[in-house]
């Protein structure tokens, strides 16, 4: 069972303490669609914890003792998706730690995951039954807008993949591997699509409407 988040159930029977099941929103969209930007705004208004798979991988890459540093580094530069065994462990640990520190923190925005079939299967293997996926928040945006935003971000981000060469590969990975995952969830009626090509505030106005209703 995940973490130490506890829920008290009062009844005449002896006090029973149950773990709260994590409630998850997957956040997907092309590179630079604005996932991170919108997640930062969501957590200011709603009680969610933002976990970015990309951020967790970059953190793991920079951890001196990590046995995966080099692998992660090369996958990121090549715009490829890191094997899920690594990513799911980082996500699981981050969720557990969050829930351990505060029993009320059981709602998660999982940003940039699941990005391919391997990610999806890894989630099913480790998390099925242990967390509920409420819906997929999908930021829809043209490839050109995505690329332009990442190149602009690249001027100050220091990211090794915000350059033209990596971006071509990231867009290919997105189209070939991530879009089919969105399509799968779409068939289940689980995708909430937001037009992400507009300004940050315009996009967030739609996000807010959605979270007021379903968050
Ligand atoms: P993602 O997490 O999807 O890769 P980010 O949230 O990091 O995207 O945004 C990518 C870049 O685009 C950042 O520099 C960010 O400031 C900028 N950005 C995000 N949303 C918008 C928007 N709606 N309009 C213009 N620029 C944006
Ligand atoms: O989401 P973000 O743009 O931060 O992801 C950067 C990179 O991290 C991806 O292009 C990919 O190489 C890696 N990543 C991954 N698996 C994920 C999320 C990110 O391999 N689920
Ligand atoms: Mg991001």
pLDDT of residue 8: 47
Q: Are strands 23-29 and 6-9 parallel, antiparallel or unpaired?
A: unpaired
Whose CA is closest to 118, among 140, 88, 143?
Answer: 88
Q: 113 near 95, Cβ under 8 Å?
A: no
Strand partners, 18: 7
What separation in Å is there between the alpha carbon of 115 and the centre of ligand 1?
18
Task: List CB-based neighbours of ion ligand 3 within 5 Å.
Answer: 35-36
C-alpha 36, offset from chain centre: 9
Looking at the CA of residue 32, tell me the nearest atom of ligand 2. Answer: 3
Query: Domain locations in the chain?
Result: 16-214
Q: Which CATH superfamily is domain 16-214 in?
A: P-loop containing nucleotide triphosphate hydrolases (3.40.50.300)
* Binding-site residues, ligand 1, Cβ < 6 A: 29, 31-37, 149, 152-153, 199-200, 203
pLDDT of residue 1: 42
pLDDT of residue 20: 87
Return d(Cα 180, Cα 183) in angstroms, integer: 5
pLDDT of residue 10: 46
Element (H, E) at 53: helix 53-62
pLDDT in tens, 128-162: 999 999 999 999 999 999 999 999 999 999 999 99
Residues (pLDDT < 70) of the chain are 1-19
Q: Which residues contact 205 (CB under 8 A, 6 or more apart)?
A: none
Strand partners, 72: none
What separation in Å is there between the alpha carbon of 10 and the centre of ligand 2?
43
């Amino acid at each position: 069972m995940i973490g130490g988040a506890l829920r008290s159930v009062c009844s005449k029977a002896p006090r029973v303490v149950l773990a709260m099941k994590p409630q998850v929103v997957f956040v997907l969209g092309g590179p630079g669609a604005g996932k991170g930007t919108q997640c930062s705004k969501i957590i200011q208004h709603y009680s969610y914890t933002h976990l970015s798979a990309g951020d967790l991988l970059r953190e793991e890459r920079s951890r001196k003792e990590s046995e995966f540093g080099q692998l992660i580094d090369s996958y990121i530069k090549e715009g490829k998706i890191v094997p899920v065994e690594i990513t799911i462990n980082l996500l699981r640990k981050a969720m557990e730690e969050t829930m351990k520190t505060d029993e009320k923190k059981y709602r998660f925005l999982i940003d940039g995951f699941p990005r391919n079939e391997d990610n999806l299967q890894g989630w099913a293997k480790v998390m099925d039954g242990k967390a509920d996926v409420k819906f997929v928040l999908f930021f829809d945006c043209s490839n050109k807008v995505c690329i332009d935003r990442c190149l602009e971000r690249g001027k100050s981000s220091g990211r090794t993949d915000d350059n033209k060469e990596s971006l071509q590969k990231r867009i290919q990975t997105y189209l070939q591997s991530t879009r089919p995952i969105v399509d799968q969830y779409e068939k289940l009626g689980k995708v909430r699509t937001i037009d992400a090509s507009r300004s940050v505030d315009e996009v967030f106005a739609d996000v807010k409407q959605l979270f007021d209703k379903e968050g």
